[in-house]
């Protein structure tokens, strides 16, 4: 019971701090993706969302795939899928 209460508190505390600007705050799904990594790698910074975010960014090589995807820039739908077509003059 104690651990689940701590997880709930951490999620509430982390909610506002996953992105610097307020307009770019992470979704609940993004926050949930990083909660285990916060406990594993950055628990000493709870409840400070800015320091938690800085910790996660500084330890990107150690993040789980799901949490790392939160910090990776989104790929376009065709990025790397098909080579650029060759254009021939007429």
Reported as a single tens digit per residue, the pLDDT across 40-49 is 999 999 988 8
pLDDT at 85: 74
> What CA–CA distance (Å, rounded) separates 57 from 77?
25
pLDDT at 34 exceeding the cut of 60: yes
Mean pLDDT of the chain: 76
Reported as a single tens digit per residue, the pLDDT across 61-76 is 999 999 999 988 776 6
Question: How many C-beta atoms surround the C-beta of residue 20 within 10 A?
Answer: 10
Q: How far is CA 47 from CA 13, 51, 73, 90, in A?
A: 6, 9, 26, 64
Q: How far is CA 69 from CA 3, 19, 31, 35, 73, in A?
A: 26, 14, 11, 13, 8
The count of C-alpha atoms lying within 13 angstroms of the C-alpha of 87, restricted to the half-sphere facing its C-beta, is 2
């Amino acid at each position: 019971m104690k651990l689940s209460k701590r997880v709930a508190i951490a999620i509430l505390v982390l909610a506002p701090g996953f992105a610097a600007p307020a307009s770019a705050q992470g979704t609940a799904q993004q926050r949930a993706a990083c909660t285990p990594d916060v406990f594993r790698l950055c628990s000493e910074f709870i409840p400070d969302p800015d320091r938690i975010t800085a910790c996660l960014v500084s330890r990107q090589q150690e993040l789980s795939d799901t949490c790392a995807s939160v910090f990776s820039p989104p790929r376009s739908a065709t990025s790397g899928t098909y080579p650029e077509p060759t254009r021939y003059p007429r």
